[in-house]
């Protein structure tokens, strides 16, 4: 098995991919041999995340790494009223790497990201959603590809915790499986990303910070990577209302990126998604009964997102929270 972090390259032919994989393998081994460490800073943007922020900080503080050193873990708390800041302060008292930045009111995630970008001096930046949890080796897998100087950005592999014996649970798993399959062909960033610290600001009114960073990296002539072993657990919406609210906002944000930055994220290609769904269908009744319904629901929310952005000219960069995504179960 490949060392953590040495994964799919895009866009490369199979022959070139094998050669590039060997080159990155040699770079990885050279890091270990010379004991060269890749230094990173982890940023977490939080708004009323008391339910999960403590577990997330503990998981990040306990990360197991070989070639990666976590220099700091910075939480930007924006208008929190639920004790999030107190939890972060307790962790900061126990670990000097943990820092707290505060915003008096919630100004949108992009505003919090920009505050963090101006604060950190690290060469490699990791952004992790506050309502997710990494596994023990996740940060190593995410950051180690930066041993290759051509790599500018790496995306992790979100796997939801939702039960798959309900319609919404199955739908959430199917969407993130599609995200995984798309990323194996062309990296698509979400939930957990890492990138080189080569800019100090993203568009202040973007509702999809990860998608807005992709063109900034590519514009510098650097490459995107997908790290399937950089697993991060998240929780998708458990009801149709929250699903529509979340997916509608994300699609409107992707249209904003396309219009303002001239960049199409990989999941905007509807035919690619349909092709991958058909390619990876399993002999399971849920794929034949619930699968088409999930696709129909996704088409519906994309239409709503297109209406929001194109007709209403609404860009929800400071969005309503989908409450059912916040109560992550314990991760083994």
Name the band, by pLDDT with cuts 50, 70 and 90, for residue 150. very high
Quick one: what percent of the chain has pLDDT higher than 70? 84
Name the band, by pLDDT with cuts 50, 70 and 90, for residue 35. low
**β partners of residue 134:** 232
**β partners of residue 155:** 193, 226
Name the band, by pLDDT with cuts 50, 70 and 90, for residue 11. very low
- CA separation for the pair 293, 19 (Å, rounded): 41
Instruction: Look at residue 157 and tell me whether its pLDDT is greater than 90.
Output: yes
144 vs 208, more confident? 144
Residue 274 CB partners (closer than 8 Å, separation 6+): 295
pLDDT on residue 24: 61
Instruction: Look at residue 6 and tell me whether its pLDDT is greater than 90.
Output: no
pLDDT on residue 8: 40
pLDDT on residue 25: 57
Of the listed ranges 19-28, 146-155, 212-221, 277-286, the one predicted with least confidence: 19-28
**β partners of residue 231:** 157
The answer to whether the beta carbons of residues 8 and 39 sit under 8 Å apart is no
Instruction: Look at residue 28 and tell me whether its pLDDT is greater than 90.
Output: no
pLDDT on residue 128: 97
Of the listed ranges 70-74, 119-123, 269-273, 292-296, the one predicted with least confidence: 269-273
Instruction: Look at residue 9 and tell me whether its pLDDT is greater than 50.
Output: no
Instruction: Look at residue 238 and tell me whether its pLDDT is greater than 60.
Output: yes
The SS3 call for residue 313 is coil
Instruction: Look at residue 327 and tell me whether its pLDDT is greater than 70.
Output: no
The SS3 call for residue 89 is helix
Sheet holding 223-234, edge to edge: 98-103, 68-78, 38-46, 124-128, 192-196, 151-160, 223-234, 133-134
Q: Is 14-236 CATH 3.90.550.10?
A: yes
Query: Helices marked H in the chain — which ranges?
Result: 14-34, 53-61, 84-94, 109-119, 138-143, 167-185, 209-218, 240-261, 270-279, 285-306
What is the 8-class DSSP label of residue 308? I
Sign, CA dihedral 40-76-183-313, equals negative
- What count of other Cβ atoms lies within 10 Å of the Cβ of residue 245? 22
pLDDT on residue 323: 61
- CA separation for the pair 196, 21 (Å, rounded): 21
Quote the mean pLDDT of the chain: 86
Task: Write out pLDDT tens, residues 97-110.
Answer: 999 999 999 888 88
Residue spans per domain, the chain = 14-236
Of the listed ranges 24-38, 142-156, 255-269, the one predicted with least confidence: 24-38
pLDDT on residue 209: 80
Name the band, by pLDDT with cuts 50, 70 and 90, for residue 13. very low
Name the band, by pLDDT with cuts 50, 70 and 90, for residue 315. low
Please return the burial class of 260, using the count of CB atoms within 10 Å of its CB with bins 0-12, 13-18 and 19+: middle
pLDDT on residue 191: 87
Residues 180-202, mean pLDDT to the nearest whole number: 92
pLDDT on residue 207: 72
């Amino acid at each position: 098995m490949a060392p953590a972090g040495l994964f799919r390259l895009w866009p490369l032919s199979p022959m070139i991919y094998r050669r590039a994989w060997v080159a990155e393998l040699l770079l990885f081994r050279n890091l270990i041999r010379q004991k060269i460490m890749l230094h990173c800073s982890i940023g977490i943007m939080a708004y009323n995340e008391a339910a999960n922020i403590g577990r997330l900080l503990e998981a990040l503080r306990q990360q197991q790494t070989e070639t990666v050193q976590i220099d700091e873990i910075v939480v930007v708390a924006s208008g929190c009223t639920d004790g999030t800041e107190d939890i972060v302060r307790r962790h900061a008292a126990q670990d000097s790497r943990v820092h707290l930045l505060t915003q008096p009111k919630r100004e949108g995630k992009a505003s919090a990201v920009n505050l963090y970008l101006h604060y950190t001096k690290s060469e490699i930046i990791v952004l992790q959603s506050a309502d997710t949890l990494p596994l023990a080796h996740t940060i190593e897998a995410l950051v180690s590809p930066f041993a290759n100087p051509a790599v500018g950005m790496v995306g992790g592999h979100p796997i939801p915790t939702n039960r798959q014996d309900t319609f919404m649970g199955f739908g959430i798993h199917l969407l993130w499986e599609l995200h995984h399959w798309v990323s194996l062909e062309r990296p698509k960033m979400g939930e957990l990303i890492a990138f080189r610290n080569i800019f100090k600001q993203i568009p202040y009114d973007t509702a999809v910070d990860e998608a807005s960073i992709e063109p900034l990296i590519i514009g510098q002539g650097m490459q995107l990577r997908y790290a399937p072993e950089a697993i991060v657990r998240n929780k998708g919406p458990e009801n149709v209302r929250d699903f529509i609210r979340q997916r509608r906002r994300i699609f409107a944000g992707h249209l904003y990126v396309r219009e303002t930055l001239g960049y199409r994220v990989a999941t905007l290609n509807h035919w690619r998604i349909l092709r991958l769904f058909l390619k990876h269908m399993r002999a399971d009744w849920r794929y034949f009964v619930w699968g088409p319904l999930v696709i129909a629901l996704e088409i519906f929310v994309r239409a709503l997102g297109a209406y929001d952005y194109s007709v209403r000219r609404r860009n929800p960069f400071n969005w309503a929270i989908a409450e059912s995504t916040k109560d992550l179960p314990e991760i083994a």
